[in-house]
A and B are shown apart, each in its own frame.
Chain A
Amino acid sequence: MYLNEFYNRFSLDERLVEVAGHNPYYQRIDSGLNEIILVNEQTMIDLASNNYLGLATDERVKLAAVQAVQKYGVSLCGTPIATGYSDLYQRLEGKLANFVGLEETILLPTCYQANNGLFSSISGPQDLIVVDRCAHSSLIQGIKAAGCKIRPFLHNNLEHLEGILQRSAGYRQVFVVTESVFSTEGSVAPFKEIVQLCENYQALPVIDDSHGIGVLGGSGRGILEEQRISRYRGIYTASLGKAMASSGGMISGEKRLIDYLKYYCPHLVYSTALSPAVLAGTEAVLDIIHSEFGALKGRLVTYQQEIYQSLVKGGFTVLPGEAPINSIQCGSKEATFILTKMLYDQGILSTPFIEPSVPINDGRVRLIAGANLSEDSVAEAAEIIQRIGCP
């Protein structure tokens, strides 16, 4: 009996899927992120993945990963503090630190894990964390786990942030946490101003640049390059599973802090290190970014604008993203799912966001057209979007 009661607590609410006639989540992908992808064995245009630069299936990246497997096998079966710390691992840490222009970097299996582990390692009940209201779940969960006082501020609202900082005396340390690109809507944080506010109020900035690394800045180095923030003394995290076309999470900053985390961040110390294929693949991606970023970014921006125009012509309410993202405002979760289904039925894979990923009744459908798509595919997607029109 007690087992039934226990398991009954976990029944899912199927109503939304019934209303929309479609469940957009856990769709089975039967191919790599090629020009055309296979979803449930049907060909589709990928406007859903975070493969911004389109490097996930680049032949050079694949080759680097394959060669790493040949040399090291598939895993070193150890955490970084033990047998997981390969020469590949060490080299990539150095290259990534150099890439974003900070002293040192550590690599965790995912950025979710990095953001989860960071705050409980560096803050506690005597501290205050002020965080953008729209920050990613990994940041919010990580902050909650630290047991400190939390004060969210209105999204990208410097006035509200400053008001909070003005009244934040008496804490051991105040942190200000935000993202560079808010991926559900494509907005970019006024991070230079946030760093300045932090200096004024002696707070420590923490930026999650997951959707900025490999995308923002003249050479793809992310938010710090984009907003010309020099001598950044805060903390930087990013996912390597988006433009970096691989997987993993990085934390970068001053050597003293990173050295400390190497021993005191349990999410790093007690978790199996990234695998050789992933490390080598990321390194190859970095090399390609060094030599080809301009052309890749050019395509990304052109595609984003083309999709944007089609959305406007189709009568959609779309936020003009500062990042290469188009985010359609749908309102209710039902409307969000229904639009996702209409796109899906026409061969476009998109990403729906409903609460709690976004505020209640502020559903979005996100479209990202990666640089690996052909002009024809993007033109076809644009034509479909316009034809469907805002329901």
Chain B
Amino acid sequence: MEDRVISTLKHILNKRYMQITLESRLREDLNVDSLDLLMILGDLEDEFATTLSDEDFSDVVTVNDIVIKLRARRIQDYRHVFE
């Protein structure tokens, strides 16, 4: 799950940052603004075949916060099972 979240972020922000970790802060370290966040959530929806509401994610600070929220939504990391 963590890897897939980070790789989604890298895809959206790739031109700007190479170093993205679970501890990276979205706004302060990665310069993520509200449109970037919408883009990230959209791509995570595709990645995990789910629907996410941006309101639920408005308070995330770090990359790990996104992972926690996804887990709380019981989003299964099916791919992990097969790996």
Contacts and interface: CB of A to CB of B under 8 A. Distances in A.
Interface of A: 133, 140, 150-154, 163-164, 167, 355-356, 359-362
A153 B46 CA distance: 13
Interface in B28-51: 31-33, 35-36, 38-39, 42, 46
A355 B46 CA distance: 28
Q: What does DSSP make chain B's interface, helix, strand, loop or mixed?
A: helix
Contacts of B31: 359-362
A152 B38 contact: yes
A133 B35 contact: yes
Interface in B13-40: 16, 27, 31-33, 35-36, 38-39
A299 B27 CA distance: 43
A163 B33 CA distance: 22
Contacts of B39: 133, 151-154
Contacts of A154: 12, 39
Contacts of B35: 133, 140, 152
Given A152-B38, A154-B39, A359-B36, 8 more contacts: A133-B36, A151-B42, A152-B35, A152-B36, A167-B46, A359-B16, A360-B32, A362-B31
Nearest to B14: A154
Nearest to B51: A149
A280 to B, nearest CB: 39
Nearest to A151: B42
A156 B73 CA distance: 32
B12 A150 contact: no
Contacts of B38: 150-152
A152 B27 CA distance: 18
A360 B42 contact: no
Contacts of A151: 38-39, 42
8 contacts: A140-B35, A152-B39, A154-B12, A167-B46, A359-B33, A360-B27, A360-B31, A362-B31
Nearest to B15: A154
Nearest to B27: A360
A154 B16 CA distance: 13
Contact of A356 (B12, B32, B33, B46): B33
A151 B39 CA distance: 6
Pairs A-B, 5 closest by C-beta atoms: A360-B31, A151-B42, A152-B39, A152-B35, A167-B46
Nearest to A153: B39
A152 B33 CA distance: 12
A139 to B, nearest CB: 11
B12 to A, nearest CB: 7
A153 B42 CA distance: 9
Contact of A164 (B12, B27, B42): B42
B46 A360 contact: no
Contacts of A359: 16, 31, 33, 36
Contacts of A163: 46
A209 B46 CA distance: 31
Contact of A355 (B12, B16, B33, B42): B33
Contacts of B33: 355-356, 359-360
A361 B32 CA distance: 10
Nearest to A140: B35
B31 to A, nearest CB: 4
Of the listed residues B16, B33, B42, the one surrounded by the most CB atoms of chain A closer than 10 A to its CB is B42
Contacts of B16: 359
A376 to B, nearest CB: 39
A151 B27 CA distance: 19
A257 B44 CA distance: 35
A150 B12 CA distance: 16
